[in-house]
Chains A and B, each alone.
Chain A
Amino acid sequence: MNTPPEFALSRRTLLKLGAGSASVLVAPAAMADVPGIGTPARAPVTAEVAFKVNGRARALKLDTRVTLLDALREHLHLTGTKKGCDHGQCGACTVIVDGRRINACLSLAVMHEGAEITTIEGLGSPDDLHPMQAAFVKHDGYQCGYCTPGQICSAVAVLKEIKEGIPSHVTADLTARSEASAEEIRERMSGNLCRCGAYSNIIEAIEDVGGQRA
């Protein structure tokens, strides 16, 4: 027998209420200044934000809690950017903001007023692939493909970071420029996980675009 939806809802609400009242009982009144404790619940708040996504101006009215990732996926329907862990650990949500790669899940949309955002949809299209997209196809840099948009956005930014002379953990000489070697790419891509384990092909694809391979 299926659980009636009313029951599921009330059970969840009950659990929520239970957890809330338990923490109220434990937290002493003197803890009002402790971040996160004793703060009264607040009704949802909306705010306006305007930024450019893939060259197109977008204006949104959003709950302040909406992350850049959810704004892109749920509000602008740019679902190429993926939600993996939603905690900055997997890199599936990597997008390029004002020329730098970031985890879109760990950034609020309202904090990006005036920003220029590039997602996987803005790098290339099926008919006109970005060189990094083409290299991932050529080198078979994926299996299931879920992490791929984040890998590709990250990889494009990695090559730019190397070109700009930004050092990494494996850069031997901090006063010299680093090269797009496999070692540098491996280190710089460590914020992008691939549970299928396509890493060796991903590195080959990036090396290819980086000019280290013929």
Chain B
Amino acid sequence: MRAFTYERARTPAEAAAAAARTQGARFIAGGTNLLDLMKLEIEIPSHLIDVNGLKLDTIEATEDGGVRIGALVRNTDLAADSRIRRDYALLTRALVAGASGQLRNKATTAGNLLQRTRCPYFYDTAQPCNKRLPGSGCAAIGGVSRQLAVIGTSPSCIATHPSDMAVAMMLLDATVETVRADGSTRRIALDDFYRAPGKTPHIETVLEKGELITAALLPAPLGGTHIYRKVRDRASYAFALVSVAAVLQADGSGRVALGGVAYKPWRSDAADALLPQGARAVIGNLLQGATPSPENQFKVQLAERTLASVLLQARS
């Protein structure tokens, strides 16, 4: 690990300003992803801004009947919150499907959204990777791509976003609240938050330099049946090959989002509208234009079969 200076931020605005004016600065909260990457010298910050003291660790009701989840709420606490379990069960299910108990105790809401891909070529510093070293190429294309994206890819990058939590949040129409270096705040729909890889896969979100996430907001509960089904290589503590998040209503309508297939959780209103026609219609629409590799083309069929199983479970 490379040496770095360290400071504890006192207010969100101060943290954002410090991050904007200090070259090589990074925020650190749970640290479970960042420190792992720092040990491998994939991330090499020269200054860390510890945001753990910012008191952004509460879950509050909002005026529109939703909830405001502080950026520093730990994954364990979010999953265990009684309102989340009752009204946003999908979110609890997604959270407890991810990582291990130890990691969920440290990992935060904002850190989970900002975690980096687990593409093996991003992690292997002996390999080219446009996300790790812009312009160096992509060893994943034509390489071992079983875990990687099938849609939304570019000739520069086929990495997936690894989060389970984000899949649930995308389906639940989450909004990210931030503070910028000049102290102003803004709200960004999660759907607009992640940037497609294009030619710049190292730029993963629309966040500006120094901009700090302060909360994730969920609108009023959707009701219905909440199911998060994660398919992975072992029964626990593994990333998704494919995951299906679904909120299904008694009249056959609902919403679906997929994890493990793209640079962000994948969903569309057009695909949701086809739910009464079944899993094949929904996935056919949602994954239209997919460009899987021979190694990960199974994900298209796996997504369809997983959704079919989810729809069956919802009816039973």
Contact = CB atoms under 8 A, between A and B. Distances in A.
Interface of A: 23, 26-28, 31-37, 39-45, 47, 63-65, 67, 86-88, 91, 94, 100-103, 106-108, 110-111, 113, 154, 157-158, 161, 164-169, 171, 174-175, 186-192
B6 A47 contact: yes
B117 to A, nearest CB: 14
Report whether over half of chain A's contact residues are helix, strand or loop; otherwise say mixed: loop
Interface of B: 1-6, 8, 23-24, 26, 28, 31-32, 35-36, 39, 41-46, 48, 50, 52, 76, 79-80, 85-86, 89, 92-93, 96-97, 99-103, 105-106, 132-136, 202, 209, 235-237
Contacts, number: 150
B236 A91 contact: no
A108 B38 CA distance: 11
Nearest to B226: A174
A161 B80 CA distance: 10
A42 B85 contact: no
Nearest to B96: A169
A3 B46 CA distance: 36
Nearest to B98: A169
Given A36-B44, A45-B3, A87 B101 contact: no
A169 B230 CA distance: 10
B44 A35 contact: yes
A40 B46 contact: yes
Given A34-B202, A45-B6, A169-B236, A39 B48 contact: no
A109 B11 CA distance: 22
Contacts of B86: 174-175
Contact of A191 (B23, B101, B136): B101
Contacts of A36: 41-45, 132
A86 B39 contact: yes
Given A101-B102, A174-B92, A175-B86, A41 B136 contact: no
26 contacts: A23-B133, A27-B133, A27-B134, A31-B134, A32-B23, A34-B202, A36-B44, A36-B45, A39-B24, A41-B2, A43-B3, A44-B3, A45-B3, A45-B6, A88-B103, A101-B101, A103-B32, A103-B103, A107-B106, A111-B50, A113-B8, A167-B85, A167-B92, A174-B85, A188-B101, A190-B100
